Amino acid sequence: MKALIFDLDGVIVFTDKFHYQAWKQMADEMGIYFDEQINNRLRGVSRMDSLEIILERYEGAPLSQQQKENLAEKKNEIYRNLLQTMTPSDVSDEVRETMKELRMRGYKLALGSSSKNAKFILEKVALSDAFDAISDGTNITKSKPDPEVFLKAAEYLNLPAGECLVVEDAYAGIDAAKAGMMLAAGIGEAENYDKTDYPIHSFGDLLKIAKPLR
Ligand code: BG6
Ligand code: MG
């Protein structure tokens, strides 16, 4: 193992409450039922695929592709406004120190996120320079559970997929890592997923898995 590829939402920062608020506002305006449980199904899923999940409960006239794109855009505007409130204190000391130590141990670090807002979030929390490579929603055509986002991250690092450990909180993310023939550490909900190779209870536990390379 020579590198770690981190998911963003649910691993490094916790933006699902903002996703929830933004989708909820959009759903309420359209008279669509939406709750936290449905929101859980959106983890790791792209914006347009998330919209389709929400629209499963929509009972109005059929929507055109353009109307769907407008709805996704509207949700994103609300979401970006909520992201504006993020600061470096939204990343725990444990996350920052663990990443620093992993680097000291000789590992490359990459981001593998489905979000098109990933770089904006990294800026808000002062982590823009923390990664050797960034693969996000802007460079993929298929979202998790497809492995594309992680395979791109490995490619940007110039490393074979088999030398990368993916760190994920979502089932879809663990499935994506396994589909890409990568090792997967699961945190949060993914800690108890049977496809997870390394269940971790807290971020710092990564130091038990990633021993010094030099
Ligand atoms: C993922 C989130 O990181 O990004 C998903 O877990 C979200 O819930 C996806 O739908 C896409 O995000 P964005 O920022 O491109 O709308
Ligand atoms: Mg996640």
**Strand-pair partners of 184:** 166
16, 17, 19, best to mutate for ligand 1 pocket (most atoms within 8 Å of CB): 19
| 140 alpha carbon, distance to own chain's centre | 13
The 8-class DSSP code of residue 9 comes to B
Q: How far is the CA of 29 from the centre of ligand 2 (A)?
A: 27
pLDDT the model gives residue 179: 98
Please state, in angstroms and rounded to a whole number, the distance separating the CA atoms of residues 21 and 23.
6
Tens digits of residue pLDDT in 85-108 = 999 999 999 999 999 999 999 999
Residue 46 pLDDT: 93
The residue to mutate among 12, 68, 114, 167, having the most atoms of ligand 1 within 8 angstroms of its beta carbon, is 114
Task: Output DSSP code: residue 95.
Answer: H
Q: Would you state the pLDDT for residue 214?
A: 79
Atom of ligand 1 nearest to the CA of 7: 3
Low-confidence ranges of the chain (pLDDT < 70): none
Residue 153: per-residue pLDDT: 98
Q: How far apart are CA 145 and CA 122, in angstroms?
A: 23
Residues belonging to the active site: 7, 9
The neighbouring-strand residues paired with 9 are 13
